[in-house]
Amino acid sequence: MTKGFSIQNSSLRFRIFISMIFLTLVSSVLIGIVAIYQFKEEAKSYHQDRLLRKENSINEHVKFVLDNTSYPLTTENLPLIFKDKIHELSTIHSSQINIHDLEGNLIISSKGNFKVDGTNHSKISDIILKIIRSSPQKRFVDLRLLNGYRFRSAYNYIEDNQFKPLGIINLPYKEETQFYDEEMQSFLIRFGQIFVFVFLIAIVLAYFLSSYITKNIQLISDKIQMTQLNKKNERINVAHASSEILTLIDAYNTMVDQLEESAKKLAQNEREHAWREMAKQVAHEIKNPLTPMRLTVQSFERRFNPEDPNIREKLKDYSNTLIQQIDTMTSVASAFSNFASMPAQENETLNIVETVELALDIFNEDYVTFESSEEEIITTFDRTQIVRIINNLVKNAIQAIPEYEPFPSVKVKIYRTGTDVCIEVKDNGSGIPVEIRNRIFEPQFTTKSSGMGLGLAMIKNMVESYGGNIHFETIIDKGTTFFVKLPITN
């Protein structure tokens, strides 16, 4: 199943590349955000300062009018005092001017409808009045957002020469942001162009920097991938590298030295193991026919009768049996002495039925029986290897039958199937347990207290070397049948 992309599973070079691109992107976005914020703060500061300047200028002008009027300075006279002056003040300072009494009621304005920002300025709200009265500066600026525009309204007292409040002057002010909006848009366009250029440069620089940083790591990675136990591995020599990389290189070179030493020891151990295995195989192959040969000699000695009219025929069979087993041991010894395979195949044309029947003669157990569908099946095989196959299978079958079995049975059957000859060795023993069935043909695997566990493994190798196959069928407490199938060749 295909796994999804994960940054944790990516290469170090890719992670460094992505990190540098990410830092460039984040820093550029932060610069843009700070620039936009700065533009807005500058616009805000500009309008605050502008309103304050207007307010100061108008207040100075109002004070001048109050100082030069002939009317008594009272709240009731304010409409009379500014009747002819309020429009002049509004024109000079380009601002609407509203004058209220101390209760917040509008008494005179430079605009007839009293509306400039969608709000009726005829009455100051009680909240604003309370703020003005409680403020140390006796001043308040009301900020509102209407129809997408920001409006400021400055309120402060009109005082006489004795600093006695006469009324409240209100200066509505609409923030014109078009200039700053155009400047910010122009800045963002230029910044975007520069960002694209810088981002492309950052990609190129990130690619080369990530390649440079990981170059030595990649070298170490390639060397590690090429490291093999069975060949001489090259050390890494780097002239200039960081301390971390040098530490990693030193660790790799140390590992290479240790690996070379381990390879030498392993090769020596493998040679020793090969000799031990060969010795086990030779001992096993020589030991197999010795016991039945000994039993055959003892049986012949007990039954020898010089007066028997068939003594020559029996002596001939006895001699052929011993010679066949001796030939098997001779071939094993010759193969060992010549460092050849165990043993080398010496094919000859033979009657496999006769060869198998003769191989069974060394077994004195009465329950070992032989059956053949034909008297002759002529083929080309190595006689000694056929004998070894029969010896091993029959011996294993005998050993698989428990001592308490009242009717032991080992049946050897040979028959032809198409272009193959089949040999069955069937016993009524204990059967093969399920947990070890997959290991029956493994070298050195055995369930017996003696033996090397090489017999079935070697039989399998011999059968397969002829292009045949071997398998078994087993039932617990019923027995096991081994099937050997070999191609018939002439």
Question: What is the rounded (10 degree) CA torsion for 253, 257, 262, 265?
Answer: 170
The three-point CA angle 272-276-277 to 5° equals 115
Of 266, 276, 294, 270, the residue nearest 454 (C-alpha)? 276
What DSSP character marks residue 147? T
Helix (H) or strand (E) holding 381: strand 378-382
**Whether the Cβ atoms of residue 397 and residue 424 lie closer than 8 Å to each other:** no
What DSSP character marks residue 428? -
Of 44, 58, 55, the residue nearest 153 (C-alpha)? 55
Q: What is the largest CA-CA distance in the chain?
A: 179
Say if strands 368-372 and 410-417 run parallel, antiparallel, or are unpaired.
parallel
Quick one: pLDDT at residue 351?
92
Tokens of 145: 């957002």
Report how far residue 107's alpha carbon sits from residue 168's, in angstroms, rounded to the nearest whole number: 10
In sequence order, the β-bridge partners of residue 424 are: 413, 483
Helix (H) or strand (E) holding 98: strand 98-100
Quick one: pLDDT at residue 1?
43
Quick one: pLDDT at residue 336?
58
List of the chain residues with pLDDT < 70: 1-12, 112-121, 148, 177, 179-180, 221, 223-233, 238-245, 267-268, 270-275, 277-279, 281-282, 284-285, 331-344, 443-455
What DSSP character marks residue 377? -
Of 437, 427, 439, 433, the residue nearest 478 (C-alpha)? 427
At 78, the amino acid letter reads L
Looking at domain 280-487, its CATH superfamily turns out to be Histidine kinase-like ATPase, C-terminal domain (3.30.565.10)
Architecture of domain 97-175: 2-Layer Sandwich (3.30)
Quick one: pLDDT at residue 81?
86
Q: Report phi then psi at 482, rounded to 5.
A: -95, 135
pLDDT in tens, 46-97: 778 888 888 888 888 888 888 888 888 888 888 888 888 888 888 888 888 8
Helix (H) or strand (E) holding 455: helix 455-465
DSSP string, 294-306: HHHHHHHHHH--T
Domains in the chain: boundaries: 7-68+177-226, 97-175, 280-487
At 489, the amino acid letter reads T
Quick one: pLDDT at residue 139?
85
**Whether the Cβ atoms of residue 177 and residue 43 lie closer than 8 Å to each other:** yes
What DSSP character marks residue 363? -
Find tokens 């703020």 and name the residue.
Answer: 131
Question: How far is Cα of residue 276 from the mean position of the Cα atoms in its chain?
Answer: 42
The three-point CA angle 21-25-27 to 5° equals 115
Tokens of 125: 């709200």
Quick one: pLDDT at residue 420?
93
The residue count of the chain comes to 490
Which CA distances in Å does 170 have to 176, 271, 392, 472? Answer: 19, 108, 120, 111
Classify the phi-psi angles of 83: left when phi > 0, otherwise alpha if psi is within -120 to 50, otherwise beta. alpha
Quick one: pLDDT at residue 469?
92
Q: Report phi then psi at 175, rounded to 5.
A: -75, 120
Question: What is the rounded (10 degree) CA torsion for 404, 407, 410, 411?
Answer: -160
Quick one: pLDDT at residue 75?
86
Quick one: pLDDT at residue 471?
93
In sign, the C-alpha dihedral spanning 79, 83, 89, 94 is positive
Of 63, 53, 40, 69, the residue nearest 171 (C-alpha)? 53
Q: Which residues contact 424 (CB under 8 A, 6 or more apart)?
A: 411, 412, 413, 414, 481, 482, 483, 484
pTM: 0.38
Which CA distances in Å does 47 have to 92, 139, 292? Answer: 19, 17, 119
